[in-house]
Amino acid sequence: MVPENHINPPFSYWGEFITNLAEKTRSKIGKSRKLKRAISNTSGRPDIYITLGVHGNILFSDIGYCEFDSLERIWTFIQKWAKISKTLPIAFEIGLCSLENFAKTYPVWQLFQDQNVEVLNPTFSQPYLRHIGEESNIRQLKYGMDLLRQNNIPCKIYASSEHALHPQLPQLLREFGINKAFATVRLAGGAPTSFLPKVIWRGLDGSEVQCAVNQSGIPNGQVWHGKFFQELAHLLFSAYSRPDLPYILFENIEDVAYDFKEIPEFAEHKSEFERSNIHFSKFEELISNSHPFSRISQWAIEDFPLREMNSRLITENRICEDKLINFESSISLTPLIGNEIQLKFFDKIWKNVLMAQNHDAYIVPYITPGMYLMSQGLSDQYIPSKLSIEQKSMGLLDLARAQIKSLNKKMQSLKNSHEDAYVNWLWDRVFLVGNKLISIPSCGYTKIKSQTHKFKEFSSKGTRSLLNLLKWVDIPHIEDIIESKEIVFDSDLIIRLEDNYHFQKLKIHTKKRFFLPVKNCEELYITYPFGAERTTETSGHSHRFYWINRKFVLIHSGCPYFTKKGNTLNITVPPGVHEFGFEIANTLKKAYHIAWEFFYPPEKLLVPKSWEGSKSLFSIKFNDFIPTSIQNRNEDILLRGFTIGKIRPEMKNSIQINLIEEKLDSKIKEIRKPSKWKILSFLVKNDW
């Protein structure tokens, strides 16, 4: 019989941790529960740094998904982690668009201010940055940083648990005033490693950020389902098995929906950790500590592999984003609507598009409200909704398209004083309309009633030359397609070929996933936001187009995934409607020009009747500059883009600014230094 005065000691997370660690290190601890005793049988111990963070997304204006399945639950945990972070540093990587909606019900901004929390990811909706375009990369950071500034929340470092890395990120971060980053990934892809975790990451243009990376040959610290502290003994043991390392970093960013029950108990022993050279550190402080940076790294796109995803948003968001950029850039060249009205109108549309880029809609498009908490065993509450996160995000794109259409319709009321014209925000170009060619000057317009000349019939390229162009693409029955312009293989696949003067366009409507083979692919260049480079990958992702053998460009509207076997490139074509453009391109500059003309056809808009028939609205020589957007700014024009060579654009009455729209001092040599892959912004006086 157990004596009445005997009471079983309460369960202790700390005691279990000490026991497990001592067993692994074979240290004798007796009844001691001291960390120093549990590691006494180890030698040459490296300094250990641990960074902890919580992750969450996404809350729309009317409903939440994933970590935001339950607003009450997430508010309870956000408060808990924010308060504990005063003792044990815990950073927050929660979608800022979600916090903006969350703040309508809960005082989250005030909590963050009061507890001085560390915010990690300044993007607006936590997207996969390689899946979105150049302008979206900028707007994600701009809208996110603006929201933080409005609420007096600092963000000194960039870190994303989802895959949001590419070679141009250092340049983007420096433009927004961030010089520290974690080039690490928890999900959906890979990232580079290093012997020591602190390096200098140099971007394509020479921009540098201080950076932390995962270390080769040891666990990175990422643990699933809120089990980090249960696995901490194992992580420390793996660290002590590497006495050759002076210091080791473990990074853990966990979903905010999990209750780390061990944290309060471990927080009480923080000083004991410190005495054993185990430091719980803020992310920014880790990079700022006294350990030196081991090397300078300039990584290629191959160092950031991205897994294949299956979401309609990969195509639909690309198409919608390009449509929005084309419409906004074109209308910004004309005085159709007031600048202030225009700015607010497009900001509203952009926010919808950016929210639709949330990573969950790409990686788990099928998920519905409540499904996340149920699948993780955190709730048994069923929320009756059949609207998946993909469908919800698609609805935002539909709304954006409807808003563009609505504005276009409203502008028709100006027809008494205006007339139709094609507006072009790219270089001088010739545009095919029906059976006519219309010449449009750079950053200008041509009225539809102005002089045009008839276009030769489709056969002008000649069947033989067209077949030579298509010799790389293994399209079944291509000769029949050329002859009839369209072929229906069955109810699941329709292929149509169009001659768009500067390129051939292939329209594919498929109900089944299939592969489009490209033969004789000996050398392959792939693209990502603000960049392109040669790759030897046998599977990968090319955001805009494929440049093959430095001769042939194959453009796509949203089919970025490929595999390569031998000299055959297979492009994955998912179910849906897709467009491909292809043409000869002997230089990368020509490949970009053809691709941009594919994405951004001249926009049919109204211009004042008093204007002449055709005119450039501001003078520019593009040179090696590829524009990515044009916007109105207080009667000036904001022009953004990037260089693919060293020759910058030439413009009159322009000043260079950065991405937060601050004027740059032209006396600084670095501003005028020739550089490839440089992201540039200008304010230009228009010629209205």
Label residue 450 by pLDDT band (50, 70, 90): low
The average pLDDT across 594-598 equals 96
Please give the DSSP secondary-structure letter assigned to residue 529: T
pLDDT band of residue 152 (cuts 50, 70, 90) is very high
Q: What is the pLDDT of residues 603-613, one digit of tens each?
A: 999 999 999 99
Encoded amino acid at 149, one letter: R
Say which amino acid occupies 535.
T
Q: What is the pLDDT of residue 483?
A: 58
**Would you say residue 34 has pLDDT above 80?**
yes
pLDDT at 158 over 80: yes
Q: Which of 220-224, 277-281, 428-432 shows the highest mean pLDDT?
A: 277-281
Rounded average pLDDT over 380-401: 88
Q: Residue range 586-603: average pLDDT?
A: 96
Confidence of residue 494 (pLDDT cuts 50, 70, 90): confident
More confident call, 22 vs 494:
22
Give 249-260 pLDDT, tens digit per residue: 999 999 988 888
pLDDT at 19 over 90: yes
Find out whether 448 and 606 touch, Cβ atoms under 8 Å.
Answer: no
List the single range of 340-349, 355-364, 454-463 with lowest mean pLDDT: 454-463
Asked whether residue 502 carries a pLDDT value surpassing 80, the answer given is no
Q: Provide, rounded to the nearest whole percent, the portion of the chain with pLDDT above 90.
A: 67
pLDDT confidence tier of residue 2, bands split at 50, 70 and 90: very low
Statement: residue 13 has pLDDT above 50: yes
Distance of CA 687 to the CA centre of its chain: 35
Per-residue tokens: 379: 């709730």
* SS3 assignment for 570-629: EEEECCEEEEEEEEECCCHHHHHHHHHHHHCCCEEEEEECCCCCEEECCCEECCCEEEEE
Whether the predicted pLDDT of 277 surpasses 50: yes
What confidence category does residue 632 fall into, taking pLDDT thresholds of 50, 70 and 90? Answer: confident
**% of residues, the chain, pLDDT over 70:** 89
* Mean pLDDT on 223-248: 91
The pair phi, psi for residue 26, each rounded to 5°, is: 60, 40
Ranges of each domain in the chain: 1-41, 458-599, 618-688
What does the mean pLDDT of the chain come to? 88
Q: Residue 479's pLDDT band (boundaries 50, 70, 90)? A: low
List Cα–Cα distances, 656 to 171, 630, 661, 668, in angstroms.
16, 14, 9, 12
How confident is the model at residue 344, as a pLDDT?
83
Inform me whether the pLDDT recorded for 467 exceeds 80: no
Check residue 458 and give its pLDDT: 39
Q: One-letter amino acid identity for 488?
A: V
- Compute the distance between CA of residue 442 and CA of residue 345 in angstroms, rounded to an integer: 26
The structure tokens 């230094």 sit at 673
**Cα–Cα distance measured from residue 685 to residue 433, given in angstroms and rounded to the nearest whole number:** 30
Residue 278's pLDDT band (boundaries 50, 70, 90)? very high
Tokens linked to 45: 């111990």
195 pLDDT higher than 50? yes
- Give the per-residue pLDDT at 342: 73
Give the per-residue pLDDT at 10.
59
**For the chain, what percentages of helix, strand and coil (3-state, to nearest 5) are there?**
30, 25, 40
Q: Which pLDDT score is estimated for 478? A: 62
Q: Does 6 score more than 50 pLDDT?
A: no
pLDDT at 339 over 70: no
pLDDT for residue 78: 95
User: Mean per-residue pLDDT for 392-403?
Assistant: 96
Residue 382, C-beta contacts closer than 8 angstroms, at least 6 positions apart: 370, 374
Does position 665 have pLDDT exceeding 90, yes or no?
no
* Two structure tokens written together for 661: 């729209």
Q: How much is the pLDDT for 490?
A: 63
Per-residue pLDDT, 448: 87
Give residue 484's pLDDT.
Answer: 56
State the pLDDT confidence band at 221, using cuts at 50, 70 and 90.
Answer: confident
pLDDT at 321 over 70: yes
Taking CA atoms, 650 is separated from 559, 623, 684, in Å, by 34, 8, 11
CA distance 277 to 210: 23
Phi and psi of 589, rounded to 5°? -60, -45
Residue-level pLDDT at 459: 42
Q: Looking at the predicted structure, is the pLDDT value of residue 57 above 80?
A: yes
